[in-house]
Structure 1
Amino acid sequence: MKTTLFAGAAALVLSAGLAAAEPVKYVLDSSHSQILFSYNHLGYSTSYGMFSGFEGEIQFDEADPAASSVTVSMPVKSMITGWAERFGHFMSPDFFAATDDEMVSFTSTAIEVTGDATAKITGDLTLNGITKSVVLDAKLNQKGDHPMAGKPWAGFDATTTLVRSDYALGKFAPYVSDEVDLKISIEAMKAD
């Protein structure tokens, strides 16, 4: 989920211009980065939740985009469900049994540019203490100088689908869908 986050490298990879001597660091704009997750609830409705305010960075190698990297992390307990009882259930032993310091993290392992404004970002997602490889379908929205901050900025979206049971979170499947769809939208700024 969290899977965070992750498409920042794609935005920068897709906008490569002149070769840089070394990787350039970008950091996520936590106030404008979200991960929305959704799942089918018993066939009656689609339930939604979100992670927001997470942190991450991109090391962008313009001369060799495949050598770029993305890392993102967030506390499990930063999840927003919109209903206190649902949040409590998600943090219970039925699902996460989350501690205050338990994190969700994503670390890229490969970036494949697939078009003028698209890429696939493969990485290791650690969720509920289990690490699995996931692939994000990423799309560059825009790159350029931020009109208020006055420095390089990039925005992008990404999607993927996770299988809850892969992360020992499969309680009530298949009645509550085992598949969870992620929609990621983030902004990243060149680090000072």
Structure 2
Amino acid sequence: MKSLILAAALGLAPLAAYANNSATAGAETYVLDASHSQIVFSYNHLGYSTTYGMFSGFDGTIQFDQNAPENSSVEVSFPVRTMLTGWEGRFNHFMSADFFDAADDEMVTFTSTAIEVTGDTTADITGDLTLNGVTKPVVLAATLNQQGNHPMENKPWAGFDATTTIKRSDFNVGAFAPFVSDEVEVMISIEAMKAD
């Protein structure tokens, strides 16, 4: 479930979509807008329902090279205990020894390792997701929603969506599988602004 994190990282690949419209050389720093970035995850609960959770308010940095977007990079991290479940009992269970056994300072991290531009507004972002002390590669299918000057902030801004699927058991949080699905669907939506 922590896997959602990965998500934020997705932001940088889609920036590649407008690379041909800029003469800027080298990488520029973009930062995630924590107030408009979230990772939503879902899983099947015993065949009876689809249960949802979310991470929100996290920070991340994108080093974006407009002329060579494949050379861009992204890093995101946040505490696992910032997970939102909508029910305190479920949160406490996720943080227990059945799942994460998470300390207050345990972090989820995603660091990109490769970007493959797949279309005018799409890219696959491969990166290392570290969750529950385990690091595994994850691929995010990312889409650029919009890029331009923010009408209120008056600076370059971009918005992206991304999806991926992870297996809980890959990160040693596979309790109760397959009754509670091992596969977790992750949906990411973020905004990023050019750093001052």
1:190 correspondence with 2:194: yes
* Structure 2: distance between partners of 1:23 and 1:177: 40
- 1:75 corresponds to: 79
Q: What is the deviation of 1:20?
A: 2.4
How many Å separate the matches in 1 of 2:136 and 2:23?
A: 33
Aligned counterparts of 1:143 and 1:168: Cα–Cα separation in 2: 38
Counterpart in the other structure of 2:113: 109
Q: Which amino acid aligns with 1:7?
A: L
Q: 2:150 aligns with which of 138, 146, 152?
A: 146
Residue number in structure 2 paired with 1:63: 67
The superposition leaves residues 147-192 of structure 1 with CA deviations (integer Å, 9 ceiling, x where unpaired) of: 1000000001000000000000000000000000000000000001
Cα deviation per residue 1:59-98 (whole Å; 9 max; x = unaligned)? 0011211110011111000000000000000000000000
Number of residue equivalences: 192
Deviation string 1:111-153 (CA, Å, 9 cap, x unpaired) is: 0000111100000000001000000000010000001000000
Q: Which residue of structure 2 lines up, in the alignment, with residue 92 of structure 1?
A: 96
Using the TM superposition, give the Cα deviation of residue 21 of structure 1 relative to its aligned residue in structure 2, in angstroms: 2.6
- Using the alignment, how far apart are the partners of 1:144 and 1:28 within structure 2? 15
Gaps of 5+ in 2: none
Aligned with residue 133 of structure 2, among 122, 129, 148: 129
In structure 2, the partner of 1:177 is 181
What's 2:6 paired with? 3
In the alignment, which of 10, 14, 19 is matched to residue 17 of structure 2?
14
**CA distance in 1 between partners of 2:12 and 2:23 (Å):** 16
User: In the aligned structure 2, how far is the partner of 1:73 from the partner of 1:44?
Assistant: 33
1:160, 1:54 → 2: CA distance?
18
Gaps of 5+ in 1: none
Structure 2: distance between partners of 1:52 and 1:131: 21
What displacement does 1:8 show? 1.4
Identity of aligned residues (%): 68
Structure-1-length-normalised TM-score: 0.98
